[in-house]
Structure 1
């Protein structure tokens, strides 16, 4: 009976744990350590076998019996019954007839040949690697002890062997297996000898139960030589039981691996959700992380997310996860269905199943976006649909919080009357521009305008008319600025804009466009009477004479008041001289 312990990653604490981790690794390639250990054991076994032949040369060899028992032994060696961290194989029922019916000195070589034949057949069938033949020497060591005992006893036949000879032979088998087996697994795989003894004890118990069956077969051979081959029936029964048990272990192992994969997916999904919570103030990050979490959690092949933007609430792509051309038609169909019905939708196109759900908080009237996932070959289960809906609802809550945060942020930085940035935001932009100028020499200019005679408008036409004028001038200024510019209400009737990356000449040109646009405004007051407004504008730019934000504002302010003194409705620019004075020039 041989023992074939399985591979362990490090030192296993229990045999069951070792079996769990190593099941299905029979086709693994031997590493360098394993090759050296197995080769050494096989060479040592061959040396011991030929030495035994030299000490006790065999007489006449019954070739037919040797071949038939060798083939039967090869078959039995492939009946692997799993026990703990290894396998028990019923070779004992043929080893005993070999020792009794053949010259015992040749038995080790017959066993080695049978094991090599079985390994070679496995390689031809694609069940193992060719280098596994090297393991046959380590597997054959169990027969060396009994062969030596029978040689020392004078090679008695079945009827001449006393009971104590079997006990002595089995004892020698145990000793050799303890030394060779534990040394083998320790050298090649690093498995604890204590764990090996635990497995070997079960193997020896099975061998003791099979030993009488082998003796009976050998005794029957004296009357009917082919009798030992009848023991193949016993081996076949054990093979059926072992096959059933191995199948059950395979199924259990597959379920275990599926559970482990599911656990890993869920762990990744949980991490994704944690990341989503951490990024709750960024809608793009929220949609991307939630989509990845959904794809991982329900084992989809890919997915994507979009956000509703613009006046028409158009769905705009914001995140993509493992999407390819095969998935796109099904994803689009599911998204269209969800948009039409405003609820989760399922679609199947060319064997690809897709599921889409709106990112919408419970009891919310408006969806922030949509997440859709797809996979090939299998529909989404009800629990997977429920999981997607739940995650989309949670993402919807987070998206609503993002929207509230962005609204509060805009309110904190926006002037309520004009919709322009407020004084606080203007100072932030100014600080950023000054820092970029000193770090990378990016030009920075500032335009400041003040409505001419605005107090008179408020006094004669009323404050409501004054608000109308301020909003109209703010809109005109916004239209004249670039898309990235943020015009601001500096205070009262003063408006300003920080121009990053704009030199002095460009700033003056923009200021003139603003002045002209304001002068061209066609306004009416609350009574329906026409109203004409103008503005005076001051411009300044950072440079050697103006080095910080406060100096920039002061220069623009001085230029603005110079425009007032020069008759209003004009643009002036200012620069600081060494003597602290501000010269002002009027545009031609």
Structure 2
């Protein structure tokens, strides 16, 4: 009967054997040197028993690996589902469901820090006419490109949503009226100079009308903020489109659109 090695060394050797066998395959038990290592490490004289133990350990490790892969796949699937639930599939922006969660949170943060919060309600001018003239596929491409434009003009702390149809909403934390008007005008000017690029060529730009509202001046609630931004947008449309209007003032921050 072979001499036994100290128990601590047995554990080390056994661990090395199990890891190597589980990683590289059961065929590793064939070389004579490994048979001897198994006998010494596991403290048995029967090589078949030692091999059976190693194979059982390998099967257990493989099963654990499969479970981890399944858990990772499930986690990725849940993340994808969450993304789809909270984002607009056409533009990649947040949707109104996300807005319903984000708006109360942003209002609470603004009130706690005693900082302003601005809302920009954006509408594509003459979008129905654009759709009727160039087709719905071109209209979808226009919405996608406007969504990309919004993403390029927002900060990390801003929230950009597709509000519905051809309307978009931006929440600008810590932006007062002057800052919000400037940001809205930059957005309007960029849209007015950006052609809509499609696979068949460039189409005319789609100008924007923007209604701007400030939380503290609108009444302090989410509903009041959105209603004020909507009223300002309506005023921008009434004044001739392609312009920015601040809620409660009727002031215009841009030039009239060409008709």
TM-score (norm 1): 0.33
Report what 2:66 is aligned to: 393
CA distance in 1 between partners of 2:139 and 2:100 (Å)? 25
Report what 2:252 is aligned to: 586
Q: 1:385 to 1:472 in 2, by over 3 A?
A: same
CA-CA distance at 1:539 after TM superposition:
1.2
Q: Name the SS of the counterpart of 1:584 in structure 2.
A: coil
CA offsets per residue over residues 508-528 of structure 1, 9 Å max, x none?
222122212211212246754
CA offsets per residue over residues 458-485 of structure 1, 9 Å max, x none?
1121111111111111111111111343
CA offsets per residue over residues 140-180 of structure 1, 9 Å max, x none?
xxxxxxxxxxxxxxxxxxxxxxxxxxxxxxxxxxxxxxxxx
Residue 113 of structure 2 is aligned to residue 440 of structure 1:
yes
CA offsets per residue over residues 247-283 of structure 1, 9 Å max, x none?
xxxx9xx97xx8xxx9xxxxxxxxxxxxxxxxxxxxx
Q: 1:435 to 1:451 in 2, by over 3 A?
A: same
Q: 1:382 to 1:446 in 2, by over 3 A?
A: farther
- Pairing 1:112-261 to 2, within 5 Å after superposition: none
Q: 1:537 to 1:545 in 2, by over 3 A?
A: closer
Answer yes or no: is the 8 Å Cα contact 1:571–1:586 preserved in 2. yes
CA distance in 1 between partners of 2:233 and 2:193 (Å)? 20
- Pairing 1:558-573 to 2, within 5 Å after superposition: 558-573=231-246
Q: 1:544 to 1:513 in 2, by over 3 A?
A: closer
Answer yes or no: is the 8 Å Cα contact 2:188–2:208 preserved in 1. yes
Residue 86 of structure 2 is aligned to residue 431 of structure 1:
no
Answer yes or no: is the 8 Å Cα contact 1:489–1:496 preserved in 2. yes
Report what 1:489 is aligned to: 162
Q: 1:394 to 1:463 in 2, by over 3 A?
A: same
CA distance in 2 between partners of 1:457 and 1:412 (Å)? 29
Answer yes or no: is the 8 Å Cα contact 2:191–2:206 preserved in 1. yes
CA-CA distance at 1:388 after TM superposition:
5.2
Q: 1:382 to 1:539 in 2, by over 3 A?
A: farther
TM-score (norm 2): 0.71
Q: 1:434 to 1:521 in 2, by over 3 A?
A: same
Report what 2:192 is aligned to: 519
CA distance in 1 between partners of 2:251 and 2:146 (Å)? 25
CA-CA distance at 1:441 after TM superposition:
2.4
From 205, 210, 225, give the equivalent of 1:532: 205
Q: 1:499 to 1:529 in 2, by over 3 A?
A: closer
CA distance in 1 between partners of 2:186 and 2:205 (Å)? 17
Report what 1:7 is aligned to: none
Q: 1:397 to 1:501 in 2, by over 3 A?
A: farther
Q: 1:539 to 1:433 in 2, by over 3 A?
A: same
CA-CA distance at 1:437 after TM superposition:
2.4
Residue 82 of structure 2 is aligned to residue 409 of structure 1:
yes
CA offsets per residue over residues 20-49 of structure 1, 9 Å max, x none?
xxxxxxxxxxxxxxxxxxxxxxxxxxxxxx
From 444, 460, 467, give the equivalent of 2:133: 460
Answer yes or no: is the 8 Å Cα contact 1:542–1:548 preserved in 2. yes
CA-CA distance at 1:546 after TM superposition:
2.1
CA-CA distance at 1:587 after TM superposition:
2.2
CA offsets per residue over residues 475-504 of structure 1, 9 Å max, x none?
111111113433111011001122233333
RMSD over equivalenced CA pairs, Å: 2.9
Report what 1:169 is aligned to: none
CA offsets per residue over residues 347-387 of structure 1, 9 Å max, x none?
xxxxxxxxxxxxxxxxxxxxxxxxxxxxxxxxxx8877765
Bigger CA radius of gyration: 1
CA offsets per residue over residues 208-250 of structure 1, 9 Å max, x none?
xxxxxxxxxxxxxxxxxxxxxxxxxxxxxxxxxxxxxxxxxxx
CA distance in 2 between partners of 1:385 and 1:427 (Å)? 50
From 124, 132, 141, give the equivalent of 1:451: 124
CA-CA distance at 1:529 after TM superposition:
5.5
CA-CA distance at 1:402 after TM superposition:
0.9
Answer yes or no: is the 8 Å Cα contact 2:138–2:198 preserved in 1. yes
Instruction: Give ranges in structure 1 of 5+ residues lacking alignment.
Output: 1-250, 263-297, 300-343, 346-380, 575-581
Q: Name the SS of the counterpart of 2:251 in structure 1.
A: strand
How many residue pairs match? The answer is 210
CA-CA distance at 1:450 after TM superposition:
0.1
**Which structure exhibits the higher relative contact order, with contacts defined as CA atoms closer than 8 Å and separated by 6 or more residues?**
2
CA offsets per residue over residues 382-438 of structure 1, 9 Å max, x none?
877765554343222111111111111111111111111111111211111112223
